[in-house]
């Protein structure tokens, strides 16, 4: 008899799971609070139900169960694993217990479980008031010093998450975290120094079945923007084993017992420590893309089997490849033209080009992982080839901005400098290079380049890894008229163009050119 499952979520990240279930010959009924969810039509049936509305979801599931049957409830890459567990429990279906799912969905409960079980994790306090004085008092009582991380207890994708170095920036961080929290609660915890890893697996029959461990590439302090990840990890086997041991201890402390588990683990000077653990498959193009591309393990299919009461056929890697995911981002503004997508797809080893924005979209420099513009995935036999291909693909995509945008103007009006700032400059020069001098420019590629930039033309790189020379070449190819302008140091736009380039890279340079060409 054909199985039927209820999929919570019909977005891009759930598309792989919907397709995988259909390949198994199952019927897929999907729910999403967005009536226009992009993968809703891929399901056999779709119902627009808010994934926070457990009562409505349960009623719908029981209706399905009474009329044709229901074999499982599933989600991937959402923060609604507790909704899955609640519906599954009400229908007598397999899955993590509701208690465990709640432990893995609320960072306050999560940290309490870790502390009780002795799982290495940072000290923390819980805050529901944006008053920094109250928070500072609680931190003092808990003997928590700066730096700290402030984040909502019940959100994902680094929304509302920020590093705080002193009480000066505590107020704004608290306000942001509380704004992103559905329960109006934030957690303030010790900052963990060190590299970060994503671990994914399945837990069943009282055993953890590891399916992947990736190096995460986090940038742009005080925020935590994942500019990519690479799997398998480049760290030694003994280090990876230590990370997995702590991860498994965390999974067990939460009570997760039947289904997908994923964790963010940091390697600190004190050893591995748990950032977060969730009772679901990961997002960020990991579980449905990079992990199977690297190992050949059908992780989504295996997790679906568990949710429907079966055991996976095999979790043994079938291939040994390296998969690199990298993101591309933008300075603030409105996308006028997105170019280079097809060219990026032709780069050797590139598997997927996944834009998240369209022309006309409003863009910001990301403060969380939802605000990135797109992702490139590459698969190769070795780490260098995979990483290089993904990074080259990101550099190939170019977002040309609409001229005359106040947000772009405000971003570019900030004078470049060497001090830490957010958003950062595209290129950072040595301290003695500021303010940028335009005396004695150097002729390079038929344009006159400021001497300080010329001296770093092959070493300074922007957030996508473009060198000064590479970014200039890109800008000249996008806006050929720039070549004539930059060949005349006395031109009134010469200095503004180079300052915009230093601050906003090729995007900033082309924007200033376009803004003045259209005026």
pLDDT tens-digit readout, 43-75: 999 999 999 999 999 999 999 999 999 999 999
Tokens at 513, concatenated: 């050119």
- State residue 28's pLDDT score: 98
Say how far apart CA 462 and CA 297 lie, in whole Å.
35
pTM of the model: 0.94
476 and 483 in contact (C-beta within 8 Å)?
Answer: yes
Say how far apart CA 381 and CA 399 lie, in whole Å.
31
The mean pLDDT value for 134-154 works out to 95
Please state, rounded to an integer, the average pLDDT across all residues of the chain: 96
- Beta strands across the sheet bearing 72-74: 45-47, 27-31, 4-8, 72-74
5 and 29 in contact (C-beta within 8 Å)?
Answer: yes
Task: With a cut of 80, say whether residue 157 has pLDDT above it.
Answer: no
- State residue 519's pLDDT score: 60
Non-local CB neighbours of 84 within 8 Å, separated by 6+ positions? 8, 73, 74, 75, 95, 96, 101, 280
**What values do phi and psi take at 298, rounded to 5?**
-80, 80
Say how far apart CA 155 and CA 157 lie, in whole Å.
7
Say how far apart CA 379 and CA 381 lie, in whole Å.
7
**In this prediction, what percent of the chain has a pLDDT beyond 90?**
94
In a 10 Å sphere around its CB, with 0-12 CB exposed, 13-18 middle and 19+ buried, how is residue 236 labelled?
exposed
Give, for 496, the enclosing helix (H) or strand (E). Answer: helix 494-517
Cα 463 from chain centre: 15
- pLDDT tens by residue, 422-471: 999 999 998 899 999 999 999 999 999 999 999 999 999 999 999 999 99
pLDDT band at 325 (very low <50, low <70, confident <90, very high): very high
- State residue 67's pLDDT score: 96
- State residue 314's pLDDT score: 85
- Cα 476–Cα 480–Cα 486 angle in degrees, nearest 5: 70
- pLDDT tens by residue, 365-375: 999 999 999 99
Closest CA to 282 of 189, 204, 214: 214
The mean pLDDT value for 410-419 works out to 91
Tokens at 394, concatenated: 């990101």
Task: With a cut of 70, say whether residue 129 has pLDDT above it.
Answer: yes
Q: Show the domains of the chain with their CATH numbers.
A: 4-93 (3.40.50.20), 123-190 (3.30.1490.20), 196-320 (3.30.470.20), 323-401 (3.90.1170.50), 406-517 (no CATH)
Residue 139: CB atoms within 10 A of its CB come to 23
Distances (CA, A) of 15 to 39, 43, 293, 324: 6, 9, 16, 21
| Helix 54-66 vs helix 81-91: crossing angle, to nearest 10 | 40
- pLDDT tens by residue, 248-301: 999 999 999 999 999 999 999 999 999 999 999 998 899 999 999 999 999 999
pLDDT band at 158 (very low <50, low <70, confident <90, very high): confident
């Amino acid at each position: 008899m054909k199985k039927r499952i209820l999929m919570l979520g019909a977005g891009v990240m759930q598309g792989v799971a919907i397709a995988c279930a259909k390949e198994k010959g199952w019927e897929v009924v999907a729910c999403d609070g967005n009536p226009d969810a992009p993968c809703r039509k891929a399901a056999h049936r779709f119902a627009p139900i808010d994934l926070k509305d457990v009562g409505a979801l349960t009623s719908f599931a029981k209706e399905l169960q009474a009329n044709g049957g229901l074999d499982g409830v599933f989600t991937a890459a959402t923060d609604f694993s507790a909704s899955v567990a609640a519906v599954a429990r009400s229908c007598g279906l397999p899955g993590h217990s509701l208690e465990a799912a709640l432990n893995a969905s609320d960072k306050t409960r999560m940290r309490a479980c870790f502390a009780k079980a002795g799982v290495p994790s940072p000290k923390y306090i819980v805050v529901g008031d944006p008053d920094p004085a109250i928070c500072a008092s609680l931190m003092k009582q808990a003997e928590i010093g700066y730096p700290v991380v402030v984040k909502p207890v019940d959100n994902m994708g680094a929304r509302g998450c920020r590093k705080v170095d002193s009480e000066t920036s505590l107020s704004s961080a608290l306000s942001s975290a509380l704004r992103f929290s559905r329960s109006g609660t934030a957690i303030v915890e010790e900052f963990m120094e060190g590299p970060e890893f994503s671990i994914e697996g399945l837990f069943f029959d009282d055993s953890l079945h590891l399916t992947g461990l990736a190096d995460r590439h986090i940038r742009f302090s005080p925020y935590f923007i994942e500019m990519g990840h690479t799997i398998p990890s480049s760290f030694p086997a003994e280090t990876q084993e230590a990370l997995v041991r702590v991860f498994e201890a965390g999974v067990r402390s939460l009570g997760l017992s039947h289904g997908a588990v994923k964790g963010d683990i940091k390697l600190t000077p004190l050893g591995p420590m748990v950032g977060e653990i969730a009772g679901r498959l990961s997002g960020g193009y990991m579980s449905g893309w990079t992990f199977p591309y690297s190992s050949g393990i059908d992780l989504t299919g295996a997790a679906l089997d568990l949710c429907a009461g079966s055991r996976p056929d095999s979790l043994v890697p079938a291939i040994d490849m390296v998969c690199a995911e990298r993101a591309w981002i933008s300075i603030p503004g409105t996308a006028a033209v997105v170019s280079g997508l097809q060219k990026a797809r032709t780069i050797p080893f590139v598997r997927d080009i996944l834009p998240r924005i369209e022309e006309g979209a409003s863009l910001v420099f990301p403060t969380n992982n939802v605000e990135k513009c797109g992702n490139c995935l590459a698969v190769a036999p070795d780490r260098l080839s995979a990483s290089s291909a993904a990074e080259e693909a990101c550099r190939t995509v170019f977002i040309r901005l609409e001229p005359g945008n106040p947000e772009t103007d405000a971003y570019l009006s900030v004078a470049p400098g060497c001090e830490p700032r957010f958003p950062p400059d595209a290129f950072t020069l040595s301290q003695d290079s500021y303010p940028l001098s335009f005396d004695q420019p150097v002729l390079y590629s038929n344009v006159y380049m400021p001497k300080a930039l010329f001296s770093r033309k092959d070493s300074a790189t922007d957030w996508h890894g473009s060198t000064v020379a590479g970014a200039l070449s890109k800008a000249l190819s996008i806006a050929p008229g720039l070549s004539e302008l930059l060949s005349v140091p006395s031109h009134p736009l010469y200095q503004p163009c180079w300052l915009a380039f230093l601050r906003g890279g090729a995007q900033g340079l082309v924007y200033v050119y376009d803004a003045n060409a259209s005026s």
